[in-house]
Every structure is written in structure tokens, then in C-alpha cells.
Structure 1
Amino acid sequence: MFGWEGGKKKPLKQPKTQAKETDDEDKVFNQKQKEKQKKLKDLKVKATVKGPLATGGIKKSGKK
């Protein structure tokens, strides 16, 4: 390697990806996935608002 070749080399150009054609089944599946994600987000928000369910953990008595 010569001194004037130092540094990063440019990566080779990647071929352009073609747009994928989506079927009706794919559209329905994607829509169902989005609905599930939206429901999960709503449930997470509700859970954080109410607070933790079990706050005490293991209860210890004062006796030794």
C-alpha cells in the first residue's frame, strides 16, 4: 500500500432495490400488525398511569 492511498476507500455502489409489489394479503397482514402495536402502546400507557401492581415485594417482620 502506498502512502497516497491511505484512508478509507469508497464502498462499491449497491444496486438499486426494486419496489416490492404488495398483495391484498400483505396489506391486510400489515394493517393487523399496526393495530396490534397500537393496542400494545395503549395498554402500556394505561399500565404506567395506574402504577405498579405489587409494590411491597417480600414483606419482612421486625422480629429477628
Structure 2
Amino acid sequence: MSGRQGGKLKPLKAAKKEKVELDDDDKAFKERQKKEQAELKAAAANAGKKGPLAGGGIKK
């Protein structure tokens, strides 16, 4: 019996990802996505400060 059988095995190494070259359209698309994500995050933060939208009243 070898000493490795009872122990934890080493994980296999993942293959290296190939670097993908981005053209101008891809760069613009990613930049636009980042801006939209930042705007949504800012809007969500501001919405939490104001409280409920409707005045409410008595619910039946």
C-alpha cells in the first residue's frame, strides 16, 4: 500500500483560458454594460432611502 491512498488527492489543474482579443464594438458594449450596472446600483441605493412609494392608508 502506498502512502497516498488514504489521503486527500490533489485537484487537477484547470486548463489555461485563451486571451480573447476584443474589438471596438465589444469594448463599447462592455463599457455600456458597466455604466448601466452602476446606474442600477445607484438607483437601488436611492430608492431605499425614500421609503415606500404609496401613501398607503388602511388596507381591508
Q: 1:7-46 counterparts in 2 under 5 A?
A: 7-46=7-46
Identical positions, percent: 51
**What is the TM-score with the length of structure 1 in the denominator?**
0.69
Q: Cα deviations across residues 4-58 of structure 1 (Å, max 9, x unaligned)?
A: 3112211222232222111111100001101111111121122111111136476
**What is the TM-score with the length of structure 2 in the denominator?**
0.73
**More moved, 10-19 vs 42-51:** 10-19
Unaligned runs of 5+ in 1: none
Unaligned runs of 5+ in 2: none
Q: Which has the larger radius of gyration?
A: 1
| Count of matched residue pairs | 59
RMSD: 2.3
